[in-house]
């Protein structure tokens, strides 16, 4: 600004002044701590202290350690499975609410879908432990009613973790897909059918491509928190199948190796960003079309 007096009172100044409390808070409590984590990840771990000597060793350790590798692979696998299951199962529900429900009842249906998710997360996760166990609710109900003779055992397994997380993040997939479906101009579908497409081919060639922006949003909204989930591996996995968050906790607090923990945290952020960007890139055609 060559002339500060001109700056004050302008729209830019008013906007900056107005956003400053929130922005300063985010810079101090979010940007600065994240930057510190990145800095720690290239520092050396000393006894009880972190020494400010630059090194890339933490990243070498993080990426070559077989335990860390297996945890990373498990986290990726679980979150990809959960994301795929959640988004595929959620799509028809979003479609049904958007296309087959009268406009004045849509709000009620969305409300019905979101209600179960505003109850204690820890309890919701734990409920799957109670339900899927060998002597759990589902087994005892099925055996009691004579449907099965021998109980299935899903307690403390990766499968149970996937079911739990697919349940926990269901509305995060339904809502963005629903929003994208709502935006589709209904006359396009009629045009498709007038031009001789069947309902199914209209869906594949018109509805699905137009709703891909919602699917991409759903994938990201589910994938990111799931890969960082901490409660489910502990409660439903019984601590036997740790994921990224659990190993970060272990290194940062129990082993007090903050540089290595920071390097893993930074690597996790990098993986999340890369997977997200790759997914957006793969769908760029649809994202551009809907803008």
Partner 1 sequence: MKIPSLRIYTIAYLVFLYTPIVILPIFAFNNATVIAFPLRGFTTEWFVAVWNDAELHGALINSLIVAGSTSVLSTAFGVFAARASTRYSFPGKGPLMGLIMLPMVLPEMIMAMALLVVLLSLGVKLSLFTVILGHVLVCTPFSVAILTSAFQSLDKSLEEAAYDLGEGPVSTFRLVILPLVLPGIISSMLITFTISLDEFIISNFLKSGEELLSTYIYSKLRFPKYVPNIMALGTILVVISITLLALAEFFRRRGLAKTGAKDSGGFV
Please list every residue from 50 through 89 that binds partner 1, using CB under 8 A: 89
169 in contact with partner 1 (CB under 8 A): no
The C-alpha atoms of residue 119 and residue 76 are separated, in whole angstroms, by 27
Q: How many residues bind partner 1 (CB under 8 A)?
A: 89
Q: How far apart are the C-alpha atoms of 144 and 246, rounded to whole Å? A: 37
Query: Which pair of structure tokens corresponds to residue 175?
Result: 């809502």
Give 83 or 139: the residue with its C-beta nearer to partner 1: 139
| Contact track, partner 1, 252-271, x by CB under 8 A | xx----x--xx--x--xx--
237 counts as binding partner 1 under rule CB under 8 A: no
168 touches 124 (CB < 8 A): yes
- The binder of partner 1 chosen from 8, 15, 51, 185 (CB under 8 A): 15
Q: State which residue, 210 or 243, has the beta carbon closest to partner 1.
A: 243
Name the residue nearer to partner 1 (CB basis): 76 or 221.
Answer: 221
Using only the alpha carbons of the chain, give its radius of gyration. 24
Site stretch for partner 1 (CB under 8 A), options 9-17, 53-61, 62-70, 80-88: 9-17
Least Cα distance to 166 among 236, 97, 104 occurs for: 236
Binding mask 179-218 for partner 1 (x = CB under 8 A): ---x----------------x-------------------
Residue 282: CB atoms within 10 A of its CB come to 10
Among candidate residues 128, 127, 153, the one with its CA nearest the CA of residue 139:
153
Give the integer Cα–Cα distance in Å for 180 and 210: 8
Instruction: Kindly state the smallest distance separating residue 66's Cβ from partner 1, in Å.
Output: 22
Q: Which of 2, 53, 64, 100 binds partner 1 (CB under 8 A)?
A: 100
Length of the chain: 291
Give the residue with the Cβ less far from partner 1, 158 or 271: 271
Asked if 230 interacts with partner 1 (CB under 8 A), we say yes
Q: Six-digit token pair at 277?
A: 């960007």
Exactly one of 131, 181, 216, 275 binds partner 1 (CB under 8 A); that residue is 131
Q: Looking at 3, 9, 118, 146, which residue binds partner 1 (CB under 8 A)?
A: 118
SS (H, E, C) 126-167: HHHHHHHCCCCHHHHHHHHCCCCCCCCCCCCCHHHHHHHHHH
């Amino acid at each position: 600004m060559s002339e500060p007096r001109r700056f004050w009172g302008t729209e830019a100044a008013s906007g900056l002044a107005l956003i400053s409390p929130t922005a300063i808070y985010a810079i101090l409590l979010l940007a600065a701590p994240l930057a510190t984590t990145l800095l720690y990840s290239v520092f050396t771990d000393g006894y009880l202290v972190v020494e400010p000597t630059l090194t890339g060793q933490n990243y070498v350790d993080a990426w070559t350690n077989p335990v860390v590798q297996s945890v990373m692979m498990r986290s990726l696998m679980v979150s990809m499975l959960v994301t795929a299951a959640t988004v595929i199962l959620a799509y028809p529900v979003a479609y049904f609410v958007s296309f087959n429900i009268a406009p004045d009842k849509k709000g009620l249906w969305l409300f019905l879908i979101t209600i179960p998710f505003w109850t204690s997360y820890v309890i919701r996760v734990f409920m799957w432990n109670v339900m899927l166990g060998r002597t759990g609710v589902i087994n005892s109900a099925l055996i009691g009613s004579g449907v099965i003779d021998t109980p299935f055992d899903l307690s403390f397994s990766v499968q149970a973790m996937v079911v739990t997380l697919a349940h926990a993040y269901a509305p995060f997939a339904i809502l963005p897909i629903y929003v994208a479906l709502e935006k589709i101009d209904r006359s396009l579908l009629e045009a498709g059918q007038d031009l001789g497409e069947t309902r199914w081919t209209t869906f594949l060639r018109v509805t699905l491509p137009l709703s891909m922006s919602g699917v991409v949003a759903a994938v990201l909204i589910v994938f990111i928190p799931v890969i960082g989930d901490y409660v489910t591996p502990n409660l439903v996995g019984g601590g036997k199948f740790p994921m990224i968050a659990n190993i970060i906790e272990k290194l940062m607090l129990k082993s007090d190796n903050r540089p290595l923990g920071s390097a893993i945290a930074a690597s996790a952020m990098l993986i999340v960003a890369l997977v997200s960007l790759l997914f957006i890139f793969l769908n760029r055609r649809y994202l551009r079309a809907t803008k």
